[in-house]
DNA sequence: TGTAAAATATGACCCCAATCATATTTACCC
DNA sequence: GGGTAAATATGATTGGGGTCATATTTTACA
């Protein structure tokens, strides 16, 4: 997933437009209606659920080239999660109608899109099993692993830009627990930590 | 999802064949290679991950008309989970090659298939958030809710054929906890329980 | 350079679900 | 009908992660 999921030229040819958003901006909100396909060009986006008490659960961390918020385009249901700019971002967005036209007229794009959904589902299958049964140590390790695999990173260790809080929001743990856990993992040489970064 | 996802006639016209399996039989195994698209005609299938210690995590309970095990057909990766017959079952299976031919030649089937994946992803999004943050009571209630919604059941209460153990395997809880929790939920009139059944 | 905010860190306490043991009830099937 | 396995039930104990309080370090930015 290092290159764009659908090439920028293709998206532009179907009428997509660029959009800039600032760090912390809400791109769309859980429960709202959708009319755009989004693809990230630059920056990072948190695709999250926000609880009543303000806690976040990060469903997917979106990296450049990846798409997000596509569910409503297929079933006309509201967004399943909110998208928040984790950094200053540049997005490409394509209107629903044009998106469907693109799928209909291009089998390969449609097929690749299906494949993307499959890879997201695999990720969810793995995460779910992990959350259900394992302790913080395993949860964190496996989450880092899946996170790498999801975007096809092979080398080890690699630098993942995640704060302790974000790691907590991805694993359903508390910051304090994440801090304590990655410290012991670090001491055992399983990973390296820096402020805002984890090397795994 | 009360009717078949792809009609039996359509599948048969593309060369699908019927297959019978007995209760408890393994239909395919996590990690194995795939060459078939499966659709359930009769019975029930548990789509599960099995831990080293033998514990199961039920990813999806498959009901008649639903498909399962499609991931490898799109990415040539191994199965993400095992399929086990929860009852005596009748399946329809279609060879990979024919499946792809079907998608290529029929846009609507392809689109509906994508939509199915989206609905599964929504289900996973919701479950994941639930597992990450909530207590047994909420986990169970929400799981029952999502389980109903996933297959479009509207009436309330409806009879769900789930044992305490299966409910535990879906929520990552222990049987004892499920038993204690649904008892209190029952006492508070939130649901009705029977042996092997939950009315919700 | 100084100040505020964000991120990281650490200790003490507690609650709740896991665990273990054991019992009872219901279904199955020869 | 009787024997066996599966499902359900319940009590006692415990440990691990949540919670709360507080401190330190780093970054941002005026």
Same domain, A98 and A138: no
Residue at which a domain ends, from A80, A115, A150:
A115
Whether B121 is covered by a domain: the verdict is: no
Residue at which a domain ends, from A115, A144, A161:
A115
Same domain, A28 and A74: yes
- The minimal CB distance from B121 to the residues A71, A111, A129 is found for A71
Same domain, A96 and A148: no
Spacing of A176 CA from D21 C1' in Å: 13
Same domain, A14 and A107: yes
A 85-124 residues with CB < 8 A to B? 103-104, 107, 110-111, 113-115, 117-122, 124
Whether A183 is covered by a domain: the verdict is: yes
- Strand C: residues with CB below 7 A: A 163-165, 175-176, 179-180, 182-183, 193, 195-196; B 135-136, 172-174, 176-177, 195
- The minimal CB distance from B74 to the residues A104, A115, A171 is found for A115
Give A84's strand partners. A26, A46
Whether B34 is covered by a domain: the verdict is: yes
Which residue is it, tokens 């928040």? Answer: A84
pLDDT of residue B102: 96
φ, ψ dihedrals at A16, nearest 5° = -70, 155
Whether A51 is covered by a domain: the verdict is: yes
Whether A120 is covered by a domain: the verdict is: no
Same domain, A179 and A93: no
Angstrom distances, CA of residue A120 to CA of A57, A151, B36:
16, 11, 21
Same domain, B91 and B21: yes
Question: How many other C-beta atoms are found inside a 10 Å radius of the C-beta of residue A137?
Answer: 14
DSSP state of A113: H
Segment among A89-98, A117-126, B21-30, B154-163 with least mean pLDDT: B154-163
Cβ distance B123 to B69 under 8 Å?
A: no
Please list every residue in chain A whose beta carbon sits closer than 8 Å to the beta carbon of residue B71: 118, 121-122
Looking at chain B, how many residues does it have? 200
Whether B177 is covered by a domain: the verdict is: yes
Same domain, B24 and B102: yes
pLDDT string in tens for chain A (200-residue length): 446 789 999 999 999 999 999 999 999 999 999 999 999 999 999 999 998 888 999 999 998 999 999 999 999 999 999 999 999 999 999 999 999 999 999 999 999 999 999 999 999 999 999 999 999 999 999 999 887 876 677 777 788 889 999 999 999 999 999 999 999 999 998 888 888 778 77
Whether B150 is covered by a domain: the verdict is: yes
Question: How many other C-beta atoms are found inside a 10 Å radius of the C-beta of residue B196?
Answer: 12
What's the CATH number where B51 sits?
Answer: 2.60.120.10
Judge if ipTM > 0.90. Answer: yes
Whether A3 is covered by a domain: the verdict is: no
Domain residues for the domain of B98 are 8-106
pLDDT in tens, B88-100: 999 999 999 999 9
Distance CA A17, CA B7 (A): 39
CA of B71 vs chain A CAs: smallest distance (Å): 6
Q: Is the pLDDT of residue B58 over 90?
A: yes
Same domain, A38 and A77: yes
Distance CA A168, CA A25 (A): 21
What's the CATH number where A139 sits?
Answer: 1.10.10.10
Same domain, A51 and A148: no
Same domain, B32 and B97: yes
Distance CA B107, CA B99 (A): 13
The arithmetic mean of pLDDT across residues B21-31, rounded, is 93
Residues 6+ apart with CB under 8 A from B186: B192, B193
Same domain, A12 and A110: yes
Q: Crossing angle for the helix pair B136-150 and B175-187, nearest 10 degrees?
A: 80
Same domain, A74 and A46: yes
- Looking at the structure of chain B, the number of domains it has is 2
């Amino acid at each position: 997933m290092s290159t764009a999921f659908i090439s920028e030229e293709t998206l532009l040819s179907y009428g997509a437009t660029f959009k800039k958003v600032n760090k912390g901006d809400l791109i769309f909100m859980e429960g709202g209606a959708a009319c755009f396909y989004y693809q990230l060009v630059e920056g990072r986006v948190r695709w999250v659920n926000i609880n009543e008490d303000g806690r976040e659960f990060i469903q997917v961390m979106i990296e450049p080239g990846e798409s997000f918020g596509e569910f409503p385009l297929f079933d006309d249901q509201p967004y399943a999660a909110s998208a928040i700019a984790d950094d200053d971002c540049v997005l490409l967005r394509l209107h629903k109608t044009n998106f469907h036209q693109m799928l209909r007229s291009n089998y390969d794009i449609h097929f690749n899109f299906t494949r993307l959904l499959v890879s997201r589902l695999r990720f969810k299958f793995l995460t779910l099993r992990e959350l259900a049964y394992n302790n913080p140590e395993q949860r964190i390790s496996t989450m880092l692993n899946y996170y790498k695999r999801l975007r096809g990173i092979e080398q080890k260790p690699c630098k993942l830009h995640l704060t302790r809080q974000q790691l907590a929001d991805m694993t359903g743990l508390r910051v304090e627990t994440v801090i304590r856990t990655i410290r012991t993992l670090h001491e055992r040489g399983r990973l390296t930590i820096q402020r805002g970064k984890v090397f795994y």
